[in-house]
Structure 1
Amino acid sequence: MSGTTALPGTPCTAPRAGDPPMHRLEVRLPDQVPFAVGTFDTIGPMSRAAFPHRHTFYEIVHVTAGTGTHVVDLARWELHPPHLGLVLPGQLHHWEDARGLDGTVVLFTEDFLLDHPGDRDLLRRLGERPWLTLDGPTHARTGRLMGELVEEYGHGADGFATVLRSLLHVLLVRTARLRGPGTHAPPPGRPAAVAGEFARLLARTGTDGATVRECAELIGVTPGYLAEAVRAATGRTPGALLREARSREAQRLLVGTELSIRQVAARVGFDDPAYFCRFFRRETGSSPGDFRRSHERERDERQDHERKRRGRKHHDRRDPSIEGGARPA
């Protein structure tokens, strides 16, 4: 897809005023392979970014050490390594109070998935449960595979892009195995391809007020066929997934921006703020205003807890001889 990569030093901007910044994958040359892998240190400070942002690319993280919290959309995962995590294009994420963070980061665009097109659907399915805590053998096996990716990427020998795609495919398939039966990509075929295209369309335009009929027209199928394909792949209807995408985007904007409720409504395709409020309450059980205030309280409580925790740690480090004044020998 065009616009998913950028040359080093290209500034990252928000698509629209008030939106979180959208980061593109940096490549050294315009025709370079849209892939990168390395440690949190070698990838750079953005790999640990503490502010909410989005990517035009996929990110897989193998966390081997550290404390803190990884936040993706509105889901929070406390760090108790080892972990394997996935961030999909367009998702809002950041690291909160991360200390000692270490591991391997894999970045790639959808264009990179040439040799194994079924990996697109597999990534979408893995994104439904994007955070795993690994047992010892799985952690060791994942570490070896990550090491191979780093080595192949660093050498850049002839055919390295094909090898990288193959190693990435192995990583995705092995990760799917951790989730039990029925989570592998479906056999290639027209319904699976239509469902995959709908998922990609949903990620790009699903929050702009598009209808199921409009999505079907963009894909080139009838609404009925789209419904059959999506239900076969996900067990849900296109309409339900569209509503979920709009609700999720509204939640992101309410929590991550200072946009007014009227502005949030417009961003997710509602001309009538009152109708948006009814939609949001039906989907979440809360009004937009109550939802925003609730998350502001939770954020303030977390910050207050963190300040108190740091205060206690600072107090514990003080010299005991200072407490209550020096005692005579």
Structure 2
Amino acid sequence: MAKVPVIAQCVVSDGLNQDIMIESLSDYLVRNSNLVFPHRHNFYHFVLFTAGQGSHTIDFEKFVIEPWQIYFMSPGQIHTWEFEGDMQGYVVNFHRDLFKNILLRSDYLTTLSFFSGLVRDEVFVVNEEDRPLVLEILERLVKDNTQNDFVSSSLYYLFNLLNARGLPSLNQDTNAYNHTLLRNFLNLIEANFTSLRLPKEYAALLYITPNHLNALCKELLGQSAGELIRDRVILEAKRLLVIKDYSVAEIAYELNFNDNSYFTKFFKKAVGLTPEEFRKNI
């Protein structure tokens, strides 16, 4: 039986547009006041806080809320929140195909830093100089979000504005190339982490050397390529431990570990707890 439920767009939209839902955070919380337990979504989701206190957790990492903090989530990520006081801001939920009518690139969302699957890129404070424009766009969308083309065009502009904050040097061809390589590497990890565990395997798919890949990851993310691969495996293990009543042996099999004891050692070395201890603590 599922421990962490998957919330569908229709559950939280209350009859609103099923492809896109944009409203004030205060109104959203009134309609979904019971949505305080850990859960996942089958849609993309982001929230901008303009007032209020508390915390929220994404994939087991906890963040303290501050004004103008924004967080982004992709389908499948686990999160929960604990709010205090009068919460103000905006919440946006949208289907993965929202941009298909205005963009030729089907992978557009994966090119954005805040939909990378790395929690460190998904939570940040909006730059002060960008706040008036961000506020104007979201206010306009709250008032009129019935036309998908208008909404998707507005969000496309907003996403590109916010994405630029994390890529200050993309005007240089070398840096643009490196960021593209890194993004492709992260996408390959997402698609292959259960079967490919070695940096050299990913380097071959990217047509670069393992040393180049490792140097790239350390320069841009401060971690080695091997650590990024390991972290994605560990994250999936954590999700499986809390999502369903899988045995540790079943999770080891799901993640393509040949030996249950090796999986336990692998997990404990990274987390500091055995899988069963982690499950009990959560």
Q: TM-score scaled by structure 2? A: 0.72
Which residue of 2 is the match for residue 164 of structure 1?
151
- Please state if 1:68 is matched with 2:48: no
- Please state if 1:150 is matched with 2:142: yes
User: CA, structure 1 residues 28+52, in 2 after alignment: closer, same or farther (shift >3 Å)?
Assistant: closer
Offset of residue 102 of structure 1: 2.2
Which residue of 1 is the match for residue 110 of structure 2?
120
Contact 1:73 1:92 in 2 (8 A): yes
Whole-Å separation in 1 of the counterparts to 2:275 and 2:137: 44
Contact 2:36 2:82 in 1 (8 A): yes
Offset of residue 111 of structure 1: 1.1
Offset of residue 76 of structure 1: 0.7
Which residue of 1 is the match for residue 195 of structure 2?
210
Name the SS of the counterpart of 2:236 in structure 1: helix
Aligned partner of 1:224 among 204, 229, 235: 204
Aligned partner of 2:238 among 237, 251, 258: 251
Contact 2:52 2:87 in 1 (8 A): yes
Aligned partner of 1:201 among 191, 204, 219: 191
Offset of residue 105 of structure 1: 0.6
Which residue of 2 is the match for residue 49 of structure 1?
35
Q: Report the count of equivalent residues.
A: 258
Whole-Å separation in 2 of the counterparts to 1:252 and 1:228: 32
Counterpart amino acid of 1:86? F
Name the SS of the counterpart of 1:282 in structure 2: helix
Counterpart amino acid of 2:153? S
Whole-Å separation in 2 of the counterparts to 1:265 and 1:71: 25
Which residue of 1 is the match for residue 5 of structure 2?
21
Which residue of 2 is the match for residue 90 of structure 1?
76
Counterpart amino acid of 2:5? P
Which residue of 1 is the match for residue 220 of structure 2?
none
User: CA, structure 1 residues 256+78, in 2 after alignment: closer, same or farther (shift >3 Å)?
Assistant: farther
Counterpart amino acid of 1:83? Q
Offset of residue 60 of structure 1: 1.1
Which residue of 2 is the match for residue 81 of structure 1?
67
Whole-Å separation in 1 of the counterparts to 2:261 and 2:148: 51
Which residue of 1 is the match for residue 124 of structure 2?
132
Name the SS of the counterpart of 2:156 in structure 1: helix
Contact 1:40 1:47 in 2 (8 A): no
User: CA, structure 1 residues 170+127, in 2 after alignment: closer, same or farther (shift >3 Å)?
Assistant: farther
Counterpart amino acid of 1:22? V
Which residue of 1 is the match for residue 166 of structure 2?
179
CA shift digits 1:64-89 (9 cap, x unpaired): 22221111111111122221111121
Whole-Å separation in 1 of the counterparts to 2:78 and 2:138: 25
Offset of residue 267 of structure 1: 4.5
RCO comparison, higher one (Cα < 8 Å, 6+): 2
Contact 2:52 2:83 in 1 (8 A): no
* Range moving further from structure 2, 63-72 or 245-254: 245-254
* Range moving further from structure 2, 119-128 or 242-251: 119-128
Whole-Å separation in 2 of the counterparts to 1:127 and 1:164: 26
Tell me which structure has the larger Cα radius of gyration. 1
Name the SS of the counterpart of 1:91 in structure 2: coil
Contact 1:48 1:94 in 2 (8 A): no
CA shift digits 1:36-88 (9 cap, x unpaired): 11123444644872111111211111112222111111111112222111112
Unaligned ranges ≥5, structure 1: 1-16, 217-221, 297-329
Whole-Å separation in 2 of the counterparts to 1:191 and 1:180: 14
Name the SS of the counterpart of 1:111 in structure 2: coil
C-alpha RMSD of matched pairs (Å): 3.9
Name the SS of the counterpart of 2:144 in structure 1: helix
User: CA, structure 1 residues 102+169, in 2 after alignment: closer, same or farther (shift >3 Å)?
Assistant: same
User: CA, structure 1 residues 164+127, in 2 after alignment: closer, same or farther (shift >3 Å)?
Assistant: farther
